[in-house]
Amino acid sequence: MTMHPIAHAANRPDHPAVIMAGSGARMSYGEMDEAANRFAQLLRARGLGPDDAFAVLMENRIEYFPVLWGSQRAGTLLVPISTRLTAPEIAYIVNDSGARLLITSPHFDDVLPDIRRACPDIEVLVAGGQGEDGFDAALAAQPAEPIADQRAGATMLYSSGTTGRPKGIRPAPPEDPDPQAPIPFLGLATMGAGMPADGSMVYLSPAPLYHAAPLGWCSAAQRLGGTVVVMEKFEPEAALAAIEKHRITDSQWVPTHFVRFLKLDPEIRTRYDLSSHQRALHAAAPCPVPIKREMIGWWGPIVNEYYAGSEGIGMTMIGAKDWLDHPGSVGRAIYGALHICGPDGEEVPAGTDGLIYFENAQLPTYHNDPEKTAEAMHPKGWMTLGDIGHVDDDGFLFLTDRKSHMIISGGVNIYPQEIENLLVTHDKVMDAAVIGAPDPDLGEKVVAVVQPIDMNQAAGERAEPFERELRAFLEPQLARIKMPRLFEFRSELPREANGKLYKRELRDEFAARAARESAAG
């Protein structure tokens, strides 16, 4: 049986390929296949051939899927752009990628004029738009037959830019150019994650489609003939309602989603029938042990975790049972071989932290940035995502933090993730970010930026008692050197909906503040 939407459109044309959870809009495999063919024809009509790039700047909407699958049969390079970015950041990615076409929506009408000025040669089509830039009319004008020169396309994701300019991750060329050829990721989805290949899956995607994991797992679900249910935006109770309504069997989350689920009123948490739910994947950031333990207690042993990156260089995975025996682990390698290396590049013993590398025959490059590619490479040809961690004696990987997030305070290396994981388990804390800020005595001081569940509990005169409460909570669990020197309370943190925290924004803010204070005093 061929595992591809083209085959499912031929065999089960009326089976739903995608349902939008909020609006209820749906598209069958037959409809998606026809629209994908039209989009492949449109790409050719606009002069885009194999390996040419086009960009997509859209919120979660149904048009994402025919665009994805049209590109996958036109051999083009789809460049998804984060909806969180500003016009200059979007223009940078459009120009850096060499995109010749931008697919967007009226949601971005406010930034589109600036993008056009910064990218004067780009063609623009607006999904849901009218006139000469209308995507729907342009698509309808194309024939519904497959293009004559079909071949597999690729996706070039851009990193979150958490440590500077985002970098394009150019994947290695597909091993087989046939669009319907099997891909390694399907093996990870079925044998690793246990997803069914019989078309029975109903997969819930609560995160933005421009990010690697939602786009990758949604496309895997559709290759397997399942129905993808996409939330326009994550909201915890709405996610539980969607599981009940659509009889969801599979899903994918980030730890921030879990935290928000667990902050719901217990009556709301038990209101919905989750009995159809068989597999809940999560990744994107280390999950605090108490949070994960509570989720397994609530949802049962269906909570499976993996560690990977947009670069696609390797993956680890761990099921709930193994996790309970190795709490905090992200599992053993199921794709690529793990190597943990010290500063000298030599492998370190089990239990010792080091830079995590994957050994893999298929490795990407960073687009237009050979220096960044070289920085990520080990002399033996392995590649790193920049994370620090260790393996135990059984080969289970534990993440410590990102190398770029490390704080050096008074000559001591401090990893913020440990402090953040503790803070979010406090019953009055919704989210937390810990960063290093410039300090004249220590080099860097530990700063905790906290999002309370109720901002009123940390506003004005209440801020100092709340800080004392958090310090008292941390003291028995945290070495003195790691205790934040400064607490600040915010109504929101700069966190991507995909779970990634934009710490660079906070670091830049506190560095600028320190520079002003230094100049003034």
Rounded to whole angstroms, the Cα distance separating 314 from 74 reads 27
- Residue 362: CATH number of its domain: 2.30.38.10
Residues 316 and 390 in one domain: yes
- 55 found inside a domain: yes
Nearest alpha-carbon partner for 335 in 191, 221, 205? 191
Residues 330 and 415 in one domain: no
pLDDT category, 449, cuts 50, 70, 90? very high
* DSSP for residue 362: -
- Containing 170, the helix (H) or strand (E) segment is strand 168-170
Q: Which domain holds residue 125?
A: 28-158
Strand order in the sheet with 486-489: 429-439, 443-452, 486-489
3-class DSSP assignment, residue 387? strand
- 273 found inside a domain: no
- 18 found inside a domain: no
- 314 found inside a domain: yes
376, 403, 430 - which closes a domain: 403
Cα-flanking dihedrals φ and ψ of residue 388, to 5°?
-105, 140
CB 437 within 8 A of CB 511: yes
Q: Per mean pLDDT, which of 42-46, 187-191, 362-366 is the most reliable? A: 42-46
pLDDT category, 410, cuts 50, 70, 90? confident
Residue 468's identity, in one-letter code, is R
CB 280 within 8 A of CB 232: no
- 265 found inside a domain: no
Q: Is the pLDDT of residue 162 over 60?
A: no
Rounded to whole angstroms, the Cα distance separating 45 from 61 reads 24
Please give the mean pLDDT across all residues of the chain.
94
CB 208 within 8 A of CB 37: no
Q: Which residues pair with 337 in a beta bridge?
A: 359
Burial 260-282, CB ≥16 within 10 A → b, else e? bbbeeeeeebeebebeebbbbbb
Residues 442 and 342 in one domain: no
Q: Is the pLDDT of residue 1 over 70?
A: no
CB 496 within 8 A of CB 211: yes
Nearest alpha-carbon partner for 356 in 397, 301, 311, 306? 397
Reported as a single tens digit per residue, the pLDDT across 76-106 is 999 999 998 889 989 999 999 999 999 999 9
Share of the chain above pLDDT 70, in %: 98
Q: What pTM does this model have?
A: 0.89
Reported as a single tens digit per residue, the pLDDT across 456-510 is 988 888 999 999 999 999 999 888 889 999 999 999 998 877 777 888 889 889 9
- Containing 87, the helix (H) or strand (E) segment is helix 87-97
Residues 430 and 512 in one domain: yes
Rounded to whole angstroms, the Cα distance separating 214 from 233 reads 13
Residues 392 and 411 in one domain: no
How confident is the model at residue 217, as a pLDDT? 97
Rounded to whole angstroms, the Cα distance separating 288 from 290 reads 6
Q: Which residues pair with 402 in a beta bridge?
A: 387
Nearest alpha-carbon partner for 365 in 235, 129, 195, 170? 170
Rounded to whole angstroms, the Cα distance separating 509 from 521 reads 18
- 85 found inside a domain: yes
- Residue 102: CATH number of its domain: 3.40.50.980
How much is the average pLDDT of 137-154? 97
158, 176, 203 - which closes a domain: 158
- Residue 514: CATH number of its domain: 3.30.300.30
How confident is the model at residue 180, as a pLDDT? 94
CB contact set of 202 (below 8 Å; sequence gap of 6+): 226, 227, 229, 246, 247, 248, 249, 250, 276
Cα-flanking dihedrals φ and ψ of residue 383, to 5°?
-130, 145
Half-sphere exposure of 501 (CA within 13 A, CB side): 24
Residues 383 and 414 in one domain: no
* Pairing mode, strands 250-253 and 303-307: unpaired
- Containing 516, the helix (H) or strand (E) segment is helix 503-520
- 171 found inside a domain: no
Token readout for 384 is 């790193």
How confident is the model at residue 123, as a pLDDT? 97
Q: Is the pLDDT of residue 157 over 70?
A: yes
Token readout for 412 is 């001591």
Residues 40 and 64 in one domain: yes
pLDDT category, 160, cuts 50, 70, 90? low
Residues 488 and 458 in one domain: yes
Q: Is the pLDDT of residue 221 over 70?
A: yes
Rounded to whole angstroms, the Cα distance separating 29 from 17 reads 5
Q: Between these two residues, 496 and 22, which has the higher pLDDT value?
A: 22
Rounded to whole angstroms, the Cα distance separating 95 from 120 reads 10
Nearest alpha-carbon partner for 237 in 58, 27, 88, 21? 21
Residues 32 and 154 in one domain: yes
Nearest alpha-carbon partner for 75 in 173, 155, 153? 153
Reported as a single tens digit per residue, the pLDDT across 303-340 is 999 999 999 999 999 999 999 999 999 999 999 999 99
Residues 99 and 125 in one domain: yes
Quote the number of domains for the chain. Answer: 3
pLDDT category, 415, cuts 50, 70, 90? confident
Residues 420 and 342 in one domain: no
Residues 389 and 441 in one domain: no
Token readout for 250 is 């599979």
Cα-flanking dihedrals φ and ψ of residue 413, to 5°?
-80, 125
CB 86 within 8 A of CB 55: no
Cβ atoms within 10 A of the Cβ of 72, count? Answer: 26
140, 158, 176 - which closes a domain: 158
How much is the average pLDDT of 194-202? 96
- Containing 34, the helix (H) or strand (E) segment is helix 29-45
- 117 found inside a domain: yes
